[in-house]
Amino acid sequence: MSRPEIRLQDLHPTPAELAVEVLAGLRRRPRYIPPKFFYDARGSQLFDAITQTSEYYPTRTEIAILQAHAADIAARVGTGSVLVEPGSGSCMKVRLLLEGLKPCAYVPMDISREHLRVAAEQVAAEFPWLEVHAACTDFTRQMAVPDSAPEGPRVAFFPGSSIGNFDPDGAADFLAVVAELVGPGGLLLIGVDLKKAPAVLDAAYDDTAGVTAAFNLNLLERINRELGANFDLGAWRHRAFYNADLGRVEMHLVSTRDQGVQVCGERFDFAAGESIHTENSYKYSVADFQAVARRAGFFPEAVWTDPADLFSVHLLRVAAGPAVAASGSSPSRP
């Protein structure tokens, strides 16, 4: 069978860009490497495996919300839009919406190039009537609909609670960029994880099978491979916990002994117990998230949650006037 036709705009970060951000993150205190670098091809596969663990409730809960309310979502959003999905991953959730929304084009955007290509081709094969214009890009640096995509009212879809990787100020800045992308009157359908018992959160980010640990440690393997570093993977362990004061789950890689590591010819010394902070995942109440969205120029149109109030899906609309100006956005720093 011939490969389905998709258009792929390739703005994948270069090795030099990876080196600059990793070195800057290792030089600062506390040390921090942004979560976007988890996602090489193996990282994307490991993320999909995380979504299958029994502890990781967000994916199955968000899917259940989208399934339960697909008709309502379709009625509110309407048909014929250019549907843009930043951080599209395996493009699983959008499949639940495509028949109802009948967009004139689908624009999956992701930093993980090969995973994006395969996922976009699969969507194109399953929905032959749909134009697919994929964009491999770092959405914290550049988020534009490829020129090849048709004109039409734009709708953004941002599931997976990826918004939680930004701190609330960064989230408002990022949403303002999305507001600009969809334009006045444009819509955003976004999945947002809710505050809940810390034990549920701790387990979700530290599953007993060790899949999330492998996902976190894969970052060091990637840095070894792509930047010629010499992290000893046996001397690092995964740590994840809910920080109630800051309302976020934190993921870290903890050095299990005193050690020196070479990255791009630079030596970094780590004391036993010292960590590299690799991800934040902020949790919201519905009202707190709506307040962040309003700061970005969005107004709440609808919100759906599951019966246990684990997760929320919001439909937001950009006000007719200009959105609050974005001051640049990047996932939260510790």
- Shortest Å, Cβ 205 to ligand SAM: 12
Q: What is the DSSP pairing of strand 187-193 with strand 311-318?
A: antiparallel
In terms of CB distance, is 31 or 93 closer to ligand SAM?
Answer: 93
Chain position whose Cβ is nearest to ligand SAM: 160
In terms of CB distance, is 87 or 103 closer to ligand SAM?
Answer: 87
In terms of CB distance, is 39 or 236 closer to ligand SAM?
Answer: 39
- Shortest Å, Cβ 70 to ligand SAM: 16
Tokens in use for 131? Answer: 């134009």
3-state secondary structure string across 248-266: EEEEEEEECCCEEEEECCE
Q: Edge to edge, what strands does the sheet with 31-32 contain?
A: 31-32, 275-282, 248-255, 236-243
- Shortest Å, Cβ 236 to ligand SAM: 21
Q: 216, 234 in Cβ contact below 8 A?
A: no
334 DSSP 8-state letter: -
- Shortest Å, Cβ 319 to ligand SAM: 26
- Shortest Å, Cβ 184 to ligand SAM: 25
In terms of CB distance, is 61 or 81 closer to ligand SAM?
Answer: 61
Judged on CB neighbours under 10 Å (0-12, 13-18, 19+), 78 is middle
Sign of CA dihedral 291, 293, 297, 299: negative
Binding site for ligand SAM (CB under 6 A): 36, 39, 44, 47, 59, 87-89, 93, 110-112, 138-140, 159-160, 162
Q: 190, 172 in Cβ contact below 8 A?
A: no
Please tell me the distance from the alpha carbon of residue 235 to that of residue 22, in angstroms, as a whole number: 19
Closest CA to 41 of 135, 124, 111: 111
In terms of CB distance, is 62 or 270 closer to ligand SAM?
Answer: 62
In terms of CB distance, is 86 or 186 closer to ligand SAM?
Answer: 86
- Shortest Å, Cβ 174 to ligand SAM: 10
